[in-house]
Amino acid sequence: MGMNVTGKNFINGEWKDSFTGETFESTNPADISEVVGVISRSSIADVDEAVKAARDAYHAWRLKPPPKRGEILFKAAELLVNRKQKLGELMTREMGKVLPEALGDVQEAIDMSFYMAGEGRRMAGETIPSELPNKDCKSLRVPIGVCGLITPWNFPIAIPAWKITAALICGNTLVFKPSSYTPLCATEFVKILQEAGLPRGVLNLVHGRGEETGEYLASHSSIDGLSFTGSTAVGTRIAKTCAEKGKKVSCEMGGKNAIIVMDDARLELAVEGAVWGGFGTTGQRCTAASRVVVHEAVYEKFLEMFVRAVAMLRIGNGLLEKTDVGPLINESQMGKVLRYIEIGEKEGAKLAIGGKAYREGDCAKGYFVEPTIFSDVRPHMRIAREEIFGPVVCVMKAENLQDAIRIVNDTDYGLVSAVYTQDVNKSAIAERELETGIVYVNASTIGAEIQLPFGGTKRSGFGHEEAGGRGGALDMFTKWRVIYRDFSGTLQKAQIDR
C-alpha cells in the first residue's frame, strides 16, 4: 500500500504487522476523504500467537500481588489524564461523536482506571464461622485465566477500559480485539498501559473485522473467558459458543430504552432529557432513549416542545464547537437508519421532524442523518420494537403510569428506562415495576457512573454486569475459591457430626 501502518498488533510486548501483511483503513465518518490511520488486518495466526503470549504470561502475572498490579493501573490513569485532550480529538476524528462527549468517554476510562486500581487493595472475599470446632472457612477471588475482550466503536476508550482494567486487576492476561472502526483509539489506550509498566504478554492487541478476528477469538479453545459488548445478534451467538465450550462469558448487548413523561413532570427538564437521550452520540448508544412514552394530558405540549428543541440542533463535524450532533459511524449504519425511517412512515407513524440524509456544506462527505422524531407511534410498530442505533426517536401516548410502564416493558430489551414525575409515590412504583437493569428518576437514560454495576435484563445482557460495585466486572473476571481448614487433628464430618 505504501502507506505507513499506524495501528499495528501488540503481541508479547511488541508492535508488529499481521502475518499476512494485509491492512485496512480507518476513516473519519464526518469526512470520508480523511484517512485517520492504516491498520494491520489480523489472521488466525495472529490471534493464535496473541493467545499463546497471554497464556505464557499468565503464571507470573497471577502471582503478582494485586496492590502491585494496581500501581500499574494508577500510573495508566495518570497518563490518561495527561493525554485526555489528544485522545478526545482522535476519538472525534475516528468515530464522529462531538468533542465534549469524546472527552467524557476518556474521563470514564480515567475514572475506571483509578477505581479498579484501588480494587487491588479491596477485592474482598468472606471469612465465615464454621459449624465445627477448630475449623475455619473463607472464600477468596482468583483470576479466571486468559480472557478475550471484544469491544464496540461507540465508546472506543471507555468500554475497553471497563473490561481491561477489571480483568487486569483480577490477575488475568488478555487478548483485546477492538472494533475495526476505532482501532487507533484502542491502540493509543494500549500504548498507555504498556508505558505504565505492564509486563510482556499480559495485554495483547489484535486488530481485524468482527466476523473474522472477533469470531475466531470468541471460539478459541485456549481462552478461559470472553467479555463482549456489541449487538444482540452477535452477542447471542458468542454466548452460545462459550456455553458449549464451558467458558465464562459476559455479553453487553442492545437496548430499546424509554423515557416516561408523566402529566406532573417538569416538561422543560423532560425535553432536555429526551434530546440528550435520543440524540447524544447521534443515537448510537446502547442506552439511547429511542422511545418517549408521554401521558396523554401533556402529549401534545411535550411533542411541540420536543420538536422545537430538536429543530435547534446543529449537525456537523464533532470537532467544531457549534456542533451538537455528529455523523453516523459508517455507510451501512446510515443506510440502516434511513431504511428504518422509511419503515416508520410505511407503518403509519407521523414524521414530526427530520427523516433525511443531511448533505449540506461541510457535511457532504460524511454519514449524516437529520435528527428525526416520529409521533403517533404504536407499540407494535417495528420502529418501536427494533434497535435502530441512530438519531430516531419514537413518541408514544399513555393513559396513565400503569399504561406507560406496560408499554415500556413490552420489549425484548431491558437495559435502561427513565421516568419524569414530581410525585414520589409514582417514582417509587416506576423503580419497582420497570424491567430494566438501570432506572433513572428525573434524568435521561444516559449517565451511568462507574462505581455501580452496568448491565441489562432480557436481550440486553447475558452473564455478568460491567463496571464497579458489588456484582460488577469483578464477578466476571474472577471465580470464587472456598477454603475449609480443619486444625482439630481429627476427622470431622460436616452435617453428620451433630
Active-site amino acid positions: 252, 286
- Among residues 201, 209, 174, the alpha carbon closest in space to that of 42 is found at 209
Confirm if 261 and 300 have CB atoms less than 8 A apart. Answer: no
Q: Alpha-carbon dihedral of residues 392, 394, 395, 400, nearest 10 degrees?
A: -140
Facing residues of 27 across strands? 35
In residues, how long is the chain? 498
* Distance (Å, whole) CA 187 – CA 178: 9
- Among residues 7, 359, 334, the alpha carbon closest in space to that of 180 is found at 7
Q: Which helix (H) or strand (E) holds 424?
A: helix 424-433
Residue type, 303: L
Tell me 387's DSSP state: -
* Distance (Å, whole) CA 187 – CA 460: 28
* Distance (Å, whole) CA 10 – CA 18: 10
Residues 6+ away with beta carbon under 8 Å from 120: 65, 66, 67, 68, 69, 70, 71, 73, 169
* Distance (Å, whole) CA 32 – CA 35: 7
Other C-beta atoms closer than 10 Å to the C-beta of 418 total 30
- Among residues 433, 431, 437, 304, the alpha carbon closest in space to that of 375 is found at 304
- Among residues 95, 110, 202, 190, the alpha carbon closest in space to that of 152 is found at 95
Residues 6+ away with beta carbon under 8 Å from 7: 26, 37, 38, 39, 40, 183, 184, 186, 187, 207
Cell of 354: 427530520
Other C-beta atoms closer than 10 Å to the C-beta of 94 total 26
Residues 6+ away with beta carbon under 8 Å from 432: none
* Distance (Å, whole) CA 441 – CA 116: 28
Residue type, 432: R
* Distance (Å, whole) CA 495 – CA 498: 7
